[in-house]
Amino acid sequence: MKSRILVAMAPALFAGVFFLAIGAHAGDDGEDSLLKGLPSTKHSLVDGIRQATKDGGVAISAKFEDEGKGLSLSVYVAAKGLSAKAEENTLEELAGSPTGAEWKPEAEVFEDVEHVARSAEQLTLMRLTSLSLADAIARAERAQKGNVISVIPGIRGSKPVFHVRIAADGKVADVLLDLMSGEPVVKAG
């Protein structure tokens, strides 16, 4: 009898846990503090990308974030460029506050599995396209007005895309661009 009750209650319990997880995640992402901090930035993502790649590396993703320590501009870089394989490359993050007159990022070479895996995937995707992150930002800004807060290559629905997030009027809009053409991806339905 108890097992029948548990089986009958399972969908309701799952739904409750699911909605609790969504609620917890919504408060964890720092999006509100990010949106509040953006007006204080003196540097765009493109500024950060240019500075991070001035020594010959290639930017493979870029974002503004606020993880409770204030606004940060972060650029993932493949220091040896796109021609070097991930295992032969130096995958690193340059991050620092974008609120000062100069962006003075600190560099962290990735050694942990999570960051190495993520940046290796981004490097692989960037090797497929002739577009740079700056190109993707320019195309996304034509599709959606606002301030670009992140540009990250990834896979959506088995298609390679640039996932671009844009802040406008206190909200965040997502723009997906085809990784190869840079054209906006139209979602079905």
pLDDT bracket for residue 187 (50, 70, 90): low
pLDDT of 139-171, one tens digit each? Answer: 999 999 999 999 999 999 999 999 999 999 999
The domain locations on the chain are 31-178
What pLDDT does 163 receive? 97
Eight-state DSSP code of residue 184? B
pLDDT tens figures, 118-138: 999 999 999 999 999 999 999
Count CB atoms within 10 A of the CB of residue 78.
24
pLDDT, one tens digit per residue, over 87-126 is 999 999 999 999 999 999 999 999 999 999 999 999 999 9
Q: What is the pLDDT of residue 63?
A: 98
Packed helices 133-143 and 45-52: angle between N→C axes, nearest 10 degrees: 170
pTM of the model: 0.81
Give CA–CA dist 110/97, Å, rounded.
Answer: 20
Instruction: Quickly state the pLDDT bin for 13 (edges 50, 70, 90).
Output: very low
For residue 48, pLDDT over 90 is answered with: yes
Q: How many CB atoms lie within 10 A of CB 162?
A: 28
- Checking if the pLDDT of 45 tops 50, the result is yes
| Burial bucket for residue 156 (CB in 10 Å: 0-12, 13-18, 19+) | middle
